[in-house]
Each structure stands twice: as C-alpha cells, then as structure tokens.
Amino acid sequence: MTTTTDISHTLAPGRKAYFTSDWHLGYPSAEAGLEREKKIVRWLDRIAADADVLFLLGDIFDFWFDYRRAAPRHFVRVLGKLAELHDRGVRLYYFFGNHDMWHRDYLAREIGVTYVPDAARIRLNGLRIYAAHGDGLGPGDKKYKMLKKIFSHPLSRTLYRILHPDWGIPLALWFSHRSRRHTPPEITRFLGPEREHLMIHSRKVLEREPYDYFIFGHRHHAVMHPLTDKAMYINLGDWINLFTYAESDGRKVELKKFEE
C-alpha cells in the first residue's frame, strides 16, 4: 500500500522549485564517482541563485544506512552543499528510493531534509503534482514488491544494524553492484505509454484525483510524455549518464539538462 505525504509550497517571488533523482553517489565507488559528485555540486551552486525548494526523488546514494552512531563515509561535498542550501532557506524534501530507503534521522538532523517515505501530493502554487521515486509502483514485479516490504520492515533494519558498518556497508554495495551488472542496459529505455509501469500507475491515480504533473525517478531515462490533454508524465533521468532535472516556476514544469 502506497502512503502519500501531502506537501504544500508557495514559491517566493522570482524563485523556483527543482526536482532531481538518481545521483547514485558511491557508484561505481566513492573515489571513481568523485568527479560526478563535483559536477552535482556545481549544479547545486547554479540553482542556489533562485531555488526555493528542492525535491530529491530518491537513489541520491547508491546505498545509505543510518547506524545509531555511524554514517557512510564520503559525499561531504554534496552533504555540505545541501546543508548550505537549507541554511539559506531552501526547503529540502528527500524521497526514499530503492537504493537509499534505510534512512533514520541523520540527514534530517544534520542537513534539515524532510523525509518522504513513499509518494507525495504536492501543491506548488497552482500546480497539482504527484511525485515519487517510482520503484514498486504500477502492475507486475511482484517479487520486487515483496522484497521491498521485507527490506523496509523495521525488523529488517534492526537486524541489519547488528552488522558492524565495516561489514554492513561493503556488503550492501556489493549486492547493489551485482544487481546492476545483471541488469541489461536496455531496461532503462522508454517502453511507451502503454507499457511503462509508472505511466500505467499514473493513469490509475488520475481515476481517483486530478493532477497536472506526475514526476518520477528510478527509470533512468529523461522523458516528458502527455498522459491526457491536462496531465503530463515526467521521468527525471539520472546523474550517471544524463545529468537531467526538472524545474518549475509554479506555472509549468520543464525537463532540463545541466550544461556547463
């Protein structure tokens, strides 16, 4: 059962909302991904000029687990920049993804993010937006949906926390990288409006309530496609290959690519 968080935000004059996902910091390793992390920081520096709210739609990290007294090493550039944005008054919303669902309170306390465990109904000025990372939504994929219930259960977190971080973090990264190696590259291609699970899910949601935009991550392709004559589907792409994001002035949402 998908839980939905209600978010209402009115943009300050001249300010904008930004949506991003799938940074996968730590992939293929923290050291190998350092230049990509620095590129993300340069993008955050650019949007700082007019950002009023930033929606982080999951898989920001390739793996994250909040231990009681430890946090994964690395990523200090991005974490520091997000903290700086928060300190300047930018609202930060962090949606859990399938790679970084095991947050507890570290980023909320240290950076000031507001966690969104699943999906959100967003009222942004006059826009009605449905947003989620996207994993496990739509028809099919019953095996993953069952695994997600197991992994996200409080007991699973408690048992995993027993592992020392020096064992737990490398183990999780190994599983993440192994899963990616066995995922064919074509899995991220856009399958069309009748086959994309997230578009099917969006149309189901539209049967219950109206929205102007549906914004997701997870699929690693950058797509804007109409659902109806009034509703638009957006997938944010990723920051491994595409470096794409969405931007809104409160009247419309646009999909853009970060160019330096």
Q: Which helix (H) or strand (E) holds 233?
A: strand 232-236
pLDDT at 1: 57
pLDDT at 170: 67
pLDDT at 90: 98
Per-residue pLDDT tens, the chain, 260 aa: give them. 578 999 999 999 999 999 999 999 988 888 888 999 999 999 999 999 999 999 999 999 987 777 777 777 789 999 999 999 999 999 999 999 886 767 778 899 999 999 999 999 999 999 999 999 998 787 666 655 565 565 566 665 666 667 766 666 666 666 666 565 555 565 678 888 898 999 999 999 999 999 999 999 999 999 999 999 999 999 999 999 999 999 999 999 999 999 98
Strand partners, 128: 123
Helix (H, G, I), strand (E, B) or coil at 122: strand
**Domain 14-257 in CATH: superfamily?**
Metallo-dependent phosphatases (3.60.21.10)
CA neighbor of 62 nearest in space, from 13, 33, 27: 27
Domains of the chain, residue spans:
14-257
The two tokens of residue 128 are 């009605």
Within 48-122, residue ranges assigned H as helices are 76-87, 106-110
Rounded CA Rg of the chain? 18
CA neighbor of 201 nearest in space, from 185, 215, 190: 215
Q: How many CB atoms lie within 10 A of CB 251?
A: 10
Helix orientation angle between 34-47 and 76-87, rounded to the nearest 10 degrees: 10
CA angle 145, 122, 99 (to 5 degrees): 35
pLDDT at 185: 61
**Rounded to whole angstroms, how far apart are CA atoms 238 and 19?**
11
pLDDT at 22: 95
What predicted TM-score, i.e. pTM, was given to this entire model?
Answer: 0.89
pLDDT at 74: 82
pLDDT at 43: 98
**Rounded to whole angstroms, how far apart are CA atoms 117 and 46?**
28
Q: In what order do the strands lie in the sheet with 127-132?
A: 4-9, 119-124, 127-132, 213-216, 232-236, 222-226
CA neighbor of 23 nearest in space, from 50, 51, 63: 63
